[in-house]
Every structure is written in structure tokens, then in C-alpha cells.
Structure 1
């Protein structure tokens, strides 16, 4: 008969177990930053070294990006912030700072003689919804940060006054929107040089934006949504034919929502964006279907086949979603495990499923030039945030005297809710234009957490965001090094059109022939896309890593702050 362990042995074992559990519950002891621009990373570092937490640093990054990436985000836009707060249990929050349609918006405002007029939902103030980012920054400071808002905004104010150097990404985005920027005198004055894209290294200074940021720093949300800034915004919008009123700005509020959470295998949990993002649902559905398929042991083309088929099915359901304050989202049904098992079982192991054989869903447009960053501090507070003004330089309209480039997020609504396209009606109605409504989005800041590990993911890229995040998550789930997560070659399927979009070099010629033989139509986009920023905290090994997408200019780093 085996000897029973002594009381001392039992107590020692219990103490060791408690110590191990405590070690996993503690923060990483260091901070990690991954942003798409060196100046934004420097702003985060400055705030963390001043004693700020991840939420203070998120304010600094968001504001710095508003200065140096006017093409991707800014005070005239909005975004989503996914937050992690350490504790037992860990708490997750989601700040929905998506823009809202102005009070005078109507379902038919972009129709003329029954036909969609896309130009007016893209360029000029009629394309702009009420911005949400300034309110989110004030919320973060008031409810989550350690430092006053003025401290966290100081790096961005300094950047706006002193200027920043034009880089290759700025030149590329400005060239894409050159005609629209030229059409607006204030945008041309600020962001062009004699009507042309500035040369590399040219300095862009924005003193008016510095004043706007300073008012936000001094007075919080009222410094933007009321007072002289609000008056200048409304005056500028109305003078150019827009619909904004002072009440629209005063009434804007962020929405604090419960993140979408979905249990994965191996004690992992997906924590992601809920509606008005469609991305979290698509990720949860895709990961759930992949768990029923042998993707990890599959050769490359077979793995791509599995990914394309789960994306096809997940994107089909996107049209059922909309702003939860205005429509009922059938998330329990879409994430029901029996439903997802059925979707996985409907995948032919060898052949593509024609999208025409599946029930229809509506089409949508969404700009793909957004921005994303991720942060974690020494205590384990973390932020993954995706911000946008929609198309590069938003509506290409800057309100005089403010330096604020307005978004064109109204273009993310279904411009024709009566479904003049061939893709169906129900989903279009869910995302139809309505006063005060937030348009549907694909922005998908996400975490995957388990007792042993924590990861953060996210990228710009419009409708391709969920597929990019999925591919990066698969790298993580397959045990690949962190640097490969944002670098993985990208391909995409969104149900309709029934086409596989991909970056140059994603597939070899032999792989292309194999995919085509399976029934896929391939489209080489001729360019790379996305700009992912990721974090990996291995709690068990007590290591912390960050990585930035090699396609962009981003800088990631791990630093001591204690």
C-alpha cells in the first residue's frame, strides 16, 4: 500500500500551486507597444514612462495617429476600443466610438430618381457622420486612465505644432485621393503642396488641429462637442451643404458594449468586437468551423480551401447584422454550435461551393484605409483599437479653422435599402441609413486568452479585416513565431462576389492551378493590403512580444516601465 503524503507535503504542494496560479494572474511586468507609425509608438512610450497605463497610452497613440495618419483616422472619425483589465476574473470592455448619422439623415438621402448617387456619400460634408473618436478619448481618460487627458494628448499637440515628415505611405494615400483633396481648399492647403502630393520628407504642420486637440485636453468631450470647436465644425459643414447641427454634436455618445466572447478549444476564448462590427461574429464562426476541419495537418492548398469555405459561409451572414441600438442582431442563432456544425459539414473536402448555391446576402462597400494598434502595460491592462475615417482622408473635407478631416462613414450604410442590387433585401434593411444610427463595420480588434497565454490582433483593411485577422490567428494557433502572424500572405473570400482576392505571391503557379481546378476564381490584387499589429504574452513562460506588419511603417517594442 502506497504511503500517504504528509501534511507538510500537501501544504507545500498547495503553496506551489497557488504560487503558479498567482504568477499567471499577474501582469507581464513589462509593457509592449505595436502601432503603425513610429511617432505613435514614441507617444505611447512617453506616456507609459510617465506612469500612465495602457489606456492612457491608447489615448496618446490615437491622437498621434490623428496627426501623422490623417488618411487613416482622426478626430473627425471613429473606431472601436477593446479593453482588458486584470483581475479575478479578468474584465473585458468594448467602447463603440463608431460615428452616428446626423439627425437630418434619411434612408433615401443618396438616391436620385431611384438610383444611388455614390459620389455624394464619398466626398464632401454630406458623406460625414458625427465623429466618435474625441468622445472615446475623453471616456478612456475619465474611466480607465491614470493620467489627466491633457497629459496623454500632449505628444499629439506637440506633433501637430512642430510637424511630421511625409513618408511613402502618406504619399501613396494622398495620391489615391489627390483629386478630392484638390477640390477642398482647406484640405489642399494642409495636405498638399501647390496642389500636388508633397515630396518625401516634406513637413506637414497642423496648428489648427493643435488648437482643437488643446481644447479637448482642457475641457474633455465638451471641448470638441460644444463651444468654439463645435460651432466651427457645424458652420463649415453647413456652408458646404452638409446636415450637421450643434445638437448632433452635443448628443453624441460612445456606447459601452459587452464584447463578443466565444469559447474555443484548449481553454482559449475569443474576445472580439460585437455589432455594429460584423467582424467578431465572422471570426467566431470561422474559428468554430475550422475546429471541425483538419486544417493544421492539411497541405497548403487544402488548408486554403478550408479557410476560403469557412469565410464564404461566415461572410454570407454579415448582411443580417446592424447597429444593435436600431436592429435586433441574431447572434445566438449565428453562433449556435449546431448551426456551425451544419455549416462545417456542408463544406466539400475537395471542391469550392458556388456562392450562388447558398442563400443570398446583400452587398456592401467599405473603405479599407483604416488604422490599428495594440498595447499592454506591466500590470496586464491591454487595448486593441481599430480606428477609421473610412476612405483615405475620409471625405477629403477639412472644416476651416479646426484641422479636422471629416470621415465618409455614411458610405458604409446600405445606400439603397430597397435592394436595387441582386443580393437581397433583409440585410440591406438592417444597415439602412437612419438618423442617429451607426453604420455596420468590419473593424475587428480582438483578443484570444487562456489561463496560459494572451494575444491581441487587429488590422485596417475594410471588408478584408476578418479574413486577415483569421489568418494571423491561425498562425498563432499553429504555434508559429510572433513575427509571422502579421506577415502571413493574405487571401480573402467574402461570399459575393464569388472571387478569391489575394496579394501577389500568396500562391505559387501550381497552387493557383490546383485552386482553379477546385472551382475557385482567383484575382491577384497587384498590391499588398492591411497593416496588422499584434501582441503575445506567454503567462506561463513570462515572456512578452509584439510585432508590426512588415508591409507598413509600424514599430513594435517591449519596454521596462517599472
Structure 2
């Protein structure tokens, strides 16, 4: 097991990282589209025939194709890992020019808004976890979307019944006040060294010149085709001419390029006090649906005051001790840090390094089940709920829950929560807490710089494609984050901390995590998309790396299981088709298949000031790991 020190690791020679390298200085505290018509999609043949044009706002020529994907890279000067090579390259460009990890994270996130528009962007929110090498402290920024000030606990109730979930998703009703641009600015004001304008340039250039369409982008467009077609602005952007984008073609988004330029010129006030914000409010409150589509898109009630009043919240990071290491993650309004932390505390009593694969997975599944039972009862927006964060993360509470786990039997879900304020050993009475569905599409990036600063940043618009509603002329989709609220109490006998309220943040499962050694130096940082499966993905990746002695890229690639206090545990094919499934079923586990759980990225600190960046080998078409100065 890794015991709080950086091991001498097996190192890889990595090729295919298309990044030029320059000296860095320390940071200081086709088809032409008509204007406003959105994307330009060229065929692969047209893209190949078109000469490269000068890149706007940057040096060099525009890429004819996206950089090659590679799931692992090792070297010095800093590292970036994301799901997309263009986005990772944007972060590396910033590091190469002397920017720090915060600068690179913002640039990477903005680029993901171009290449991963169904996962994140200007119209969404997220959670930013930052390790400051100088102070050796971990900081949190809560950039979660908020409900309108007119919202109440019956936001999703009509005629005494909850609104159908799919109807709430594709509506103005589910759109929260976006927090992503405010998060970027708050991070830069606090720890960055470059201006937002500078850091948006790579993404602006990428949106203007385009990126190469891959299978994942096409498949995600296809799965949203029906609802996208009902909104003219969305259809023009993602289904030009009514057709799906062609794999290998170049996808451009000039509207988003102009939006980024406006944010760069005017700052985030362009959204929270300006023209972009007025367009957002108009779109939310009167969704521009095709009148011939037959779709009823419920309006929201977002106001300009909601935008003006939006604030990124600074939080004290969650912390738990595991195997002698400090595990830091995101505090509520996200449940990620408390739930991952509680599960680790439960697993602390088991030597997973010596456990068989069956026992390891059994314990992992049961710890996840228990932690989810507790998060459902106790975690919500701390501005509205008394969240016992310290007690949830206490070893005393974990021990009172760990004793429920037996090696020869399985706990039954829905499992009742424990009481962290008054832990009772092996208590299994009471009533089960409510659970809510969370969309499984989000994105995560992990960054480190040569000074030792680290960022783990998870950002989202909730569902794949968010609300499905594009702000006309702006090039970005709006979120449906308010559907992460409970629509109604699932169990009226148990308090639900996740009902809507005015200005309230819906509970999240985002869990960007940074692990420090006994000297408060980084060991590893990880995170993932995947809705509520984020928590189990981060937990499984951490235990695979820290306990099972897997290299980081292999811990990320491991076949996944996800138990969220449900009757059945989800298994990826690699576990479903393995012998371990039968052995787990023999002691009472019940399973269902999930073809793909999460899409993690991470960075690992190596000796000598080097970093290892790691991403998925296969999931979502594979991820992109890059370093400034690749070394064998």
C-alpha cells in the first residue's frame, strides 16, 4: 500500500503529445455560416481540402485535426488531464507560457465548453478544489447553480403531483442561475496570475476554427436529436441542415467564440449584469421552442436580480484521514466530499491490500451503500440545512456504521441512515431517506503546475445536453441543474434536505479530490463525471490506487461498480462478465449492467518535480493526458 510517501514508480515513455515547449516564468499574485446561425459542420473531405487559416488571438496556425489522445503522460513543467485533447492542449499552452494551475484550469474548462458542450459550459456550474503549494492548504469554491429567488419547495409540483422528470429536464423550469463564469473569475482573483481575457483566447480560437468530431460527440448528439430538433437555436447549432455531425469533420461554433470574446472584453459582468445575462433570462423564461414541434417547454422564473445576486461560495474543504494520508474534497452543497470521506472511514478498518477481489468489492459496495444512505438524510445546501459535516466525517460515526457489514451477507436497500450526531453502534433501525436521480454527464479536469499547485475541477450542465435549450446567438446550452432537487419528499416521515428553495443550491455528487501526504504535499488528485456515480468512481479509483497498488492510469481503467443505496448494484461489462459477479451473488448481491460508469482523470506527483497525468483508456473514447515537457 501507499503509506503517505511518493513511491518510485514504473515510468512510461509516452509519445504522441503534440505540445511545443518554451521557457516559463513564475506567476504573479468549408461552409460559411450566416452570422448568428451557430455551428459550421464540414465533411471530412472538405476539412482535409481546406487550407489552415491563421488562428485568432493566438500564435501559429489553426489545427487541421485535434491532437492525438493518450491516456498517460509523464514529465515536468506541469500536467493536464481531461477527457478531450484540444482542452488539455489549451491548459498546456497556458502552463507553457508561464501560467499556473489555476490559469490552466480555467483555460481547459473554457475549451471543454467548446468540445464538450453537452457536459459543461457558460450555462452551467461546478466545484473547484485548489491546493496551494505555498501555504500547503486546500481550498474550495462552490460554483453550483442556484434556484430563482421565487422558488419554493413546490417548484416541481403541478396539480398536486410532481412534474414528469423528462419534462422538467427539457424546460426553463429546471434551469438554475449559471455559476461557471463566476467560478473562473473568483479562482483567478484568488490564486491566478493571468486575466480571464487571456485565458479565454485558446477556447475562443478553438470555437472559431473548430475541432474534429469524434464518435462520442456524434453519439451524444444522436441521443439528443429529437429534443434538440424542437429548439431552433439548438438545431441550427448541433443539427445544421437537420443532420448529425460527421465523424472526422470539423465542428465550429462562431457564436460561442463571440460570447467568449465578449466575456474577455467585458468580464463576467457581461453575464451577471449585461447583455449575455439578458439573453439567458429571456431564454429561460420563454424557451424558444418550435411551435410546430408539439413540445410544451415549461417556462422558468429567472430574473436579472438572480444573476446580479449570484455569488460563488468559499467552503472549508472536507478532510478525512485514510492510510495516513489526508483526503480533501468538496464540501456541501456537494455531497461528494462527505460521502467519499465517510466511505473511506468505513473502509479504514479493512486491509484492502490483502483482501481477495471478491472481499474487496463486497466491502467497497457495502461502504458505498451505507454512505449514500447517510448522505440522503443529512446533506443539502448549508445555507438552508444544518449539515453535520464534522460528524459525518468522524471515525466514531464510521465505526458505528462499519459494524453493519458482514462478509457472508448483504445489507438491504434502501438502508436507513445513521445519526452522526449521536452514533449508535450497528444501529439499523429508522426510516430510509429519500434518493434522487442525477444526470450522468459532466466533465472533470485535473491540473498541476511546476510550482506544485494542483486543481481538481468538476463542472457540469447536468444531463447530457443539459436542458436542450441553446441561448440564441450565444452558442451554449443551459443547464437543468434544478432537477437535482427532490421534486417531492420520497418519504414524508424523513426530513428531506434537498427540496427546492429560493436561491438554494441543489445537492450534488461532484467530488473533485486531492490527497496529501503527511507533509501536506500532493500525492494524487482525481475526479470524474457521472452524476451520483461520481462518488463511487472516485472512491474506487482511490482505493485501487492507494490500497490495491494499481498505477493511477490502471486504477482509472478498472471495471467499475456503483452502489447508491439501491436494490441493485450497477456493474460495467468487465465485472458483469467476470467470475467475481457469481461469487458476490452467492452472498446476496444483486446486479444490473451499466455500459459505462464515469470518465475519470487525475494527476500524480512523482519524485524530482515531475508529474504523471492520467485519463481514461477507453471510456468516452479515451481521455487526454499531457505534460509540458514529456520525459521517458
Q: Is the 8 A contact 1:55 1:140 kept in 2?
A: yes
- 2:463, 2:606 → 1: CA distance? 36
Structure 2 residue 155 is the aligned partner of structure 1 residue 109: yes
- 1:119, 1:349 → 2: CA distance? 40
- 2:446, 2:127 → 1: CA distance? 12
Q: Which residue of 2 aligns with 1:221?
A: 268
**Per-residue displacement from partner, 1:134-183 (whole Å, max 9, x unpaired)?**
11111122221111111110001111112222211111211222111111
Give 2:556's match in structure 1, choosing from 473, 486, 490.
486
Q: Which residue of 1 aligns with 2:591?
A: 522
- 2:464, 2:227 → 1: CA distance? 10
3-state SS in 2 of match to 1:126:
coil
Q: Which residue of 2 aligns with 1:11?
A: none
Superposed displacement of residue 85, structure 1:
0.7
- 1:231, 1:507 → 2: CA distance? 49
Q: Which residue of 1 aligns with 2:600?
A: 532
Give 1:395's match in structure 2, choosing from 451, 467, 479.
467
- My pick for the range that moved more, 173-182 or 273-282, is 173-182
Give 2:212's match in structure 1, choosing from 165, 179, 196.
165
Q: Which residue of 2 aligns with 1:412?
A: 484
Q: State how 1:40-59 maps to structure 2 within 5 Å.
A: 40-59=87-106
3-state SS in 2 of match to 1:486:
helix
Q: Is the 8 A contact 1:29 1:379 kept in 2?
A: no
Q: Is the 8 A contact 1:35 1:555 kept in 2?
A: yes
- 1:149, 1:505 → 2: CA distance? 42
Q: Which residue of 1 aligns with 2:119?
A: 72
Superposed displacement of residue 104, structure 1:
2.1
Q: How does the TM-score come out when normalised to structure 2?
A: 0.80
- My pick for the range that moved more, 105-114 or 433-442, is 105-114
Classify 1:425/1:186 alpha carbon distance in 2 versus 1 (closer, same or farther; 3 Å). Answer: farther
3-state SS in 1 of match to 2:573:
coil
Q: How does the TM-score come out when normalised to structure 1?
A: 0.90
3-state SS in 2 of match to 1:468:
helix
Superposed displacement of residue 404, structure 1:
2.4
Superposed displacement of residue 29, structure 1:
5.6
- 1:237, 1:510 → 2: CA distance? 50
Q: State how 1:169-318 maps to structure 2 within 5 Å.
A: 169-240=216-287, 241-266=299-324, 268-318=325-375
CA RMSD of aligned residues (A): 1.9
Q: Is the 8 A contact 2:92 2:626 kept in 1?
A: no
Q: Is the 8 A contact 1:120 1:127 kept in 2?
A: no
3-state SS in 2 of match to 1:289:
helix
Structure 2 residue 458 is the aligned partner of structure 1 residue 386: yes
Q: Which residue of 2 aligns with 1:438?
A: 505
- 1:547, 1:378 → 2: CA distance? 17
Q: Which residue of 1 aligns with 2:579?
A: 510
Superposed displacement of residue 424, structure 1:
5.0
Q: Which residue of 2 aligns with 1:328?
A: 386
**Per-residue displacement from partner, 1:108-145 (whole Å, max 9, x unpaired)?**
12112221112332002221100000111111222211
Q: Is the 8 A contact 1:453 1:538 kept in 2?
A: no
Classify 1:167/1:511 alpha carbon distance in 2 versus 1 (closer, same or farther; 3 Å). Answer: same
Q: Is the 8 A contact 1:410 1:439 kept in 2?
A: yes
Q: Which residue of 2 aligns with 1:368?
A: 440
Superposed displacement of residue 99, structure 1:
0.3
**Per-residue displacement from partner, 1:22-66 (whole Å, max 9, x unpaired)?**
xxxx99962011011011011011111111111111110110001
Return 5+ residue gaps in structure 1 as ranges: 1-25
- 1:357, 1:29 → 2: CA distance? 47
Superposed displacement of residue 357, structure 1:
5.9
- 2:202, 2:285 → 1: CA distance? 32
Classify 1:356/1:33 alpha carbon distance in 2 versus 1 (closer, same or farther; 3 Å). Answer: closer
Return 5+ residue gaps in structure 2 as ranges: 1-25, 28-74, 288-298, 417-430
Structure 2 residue 516 is the aligned partner of structure 1 residue 449: yes
Structure 2 residue 613 is the aligned partner of structure 1 residue 546: yes
- 2:435, 2:236 → 1: CA distance? 36
Superposed displacement of residue 453, structure 1:
4.9
- 1:356, 1:476 → 2: CA distance? 29
- 1:160, 1:126 → 2: CA distance? 29
**Per-residue displacement from partner, 1:176-212 (whole Å, max 9, x unpaired)?**
2211111111001001133232221233222221222
Superposed displacement of residue 343, structure 1:
1.2
3-state SS in 2 of match to 1:213:
helix
- 1:86, 1:294 → 2: CA distance? 31
Number of corresponding residues: 526
3-state SS in 1 of match to 2:556:
coil
Superposed displacement of residue 386, structure 1:
0.4
3-state SS in 1 of match to 2:240:
coil
Classify 1:116/1:132 alpha carbon distance in 2 versus 1 (closer, same or farther; 3 Å). Answer: same
Classify 1:356/1:255 alpha carbon distance in 2 versus 1 (closer, same or farther; 3 Å). Answer: closer
Q: Is the 8 A contact 1:74 1:133 kept in 2?
A: yes
Q: Which residue of 2 aligns with 1:344?
A: 402
- 1:343, 1:141 → 2: CA distance? 41
Higher helix share: 1
Superposed displacement of residue 339, structure 1:
1.7
- 1:236, 1:36 → 2: CA distance? 29
Q: Is the 8 A contact 1:361 1:424 kept in 2?
A: no
Superposed displacement of residue 448, structure 1:
0.8
Classify 1:427/1:530 alpha carbon distance in 2 versus 1 (closer, same or farther; 3 Å). Answer: farther
Structure 2 residue 153 is the aligned partner of structure 1 residue 96: no
Superposed displacement of residue 538, structure 1:
3.1
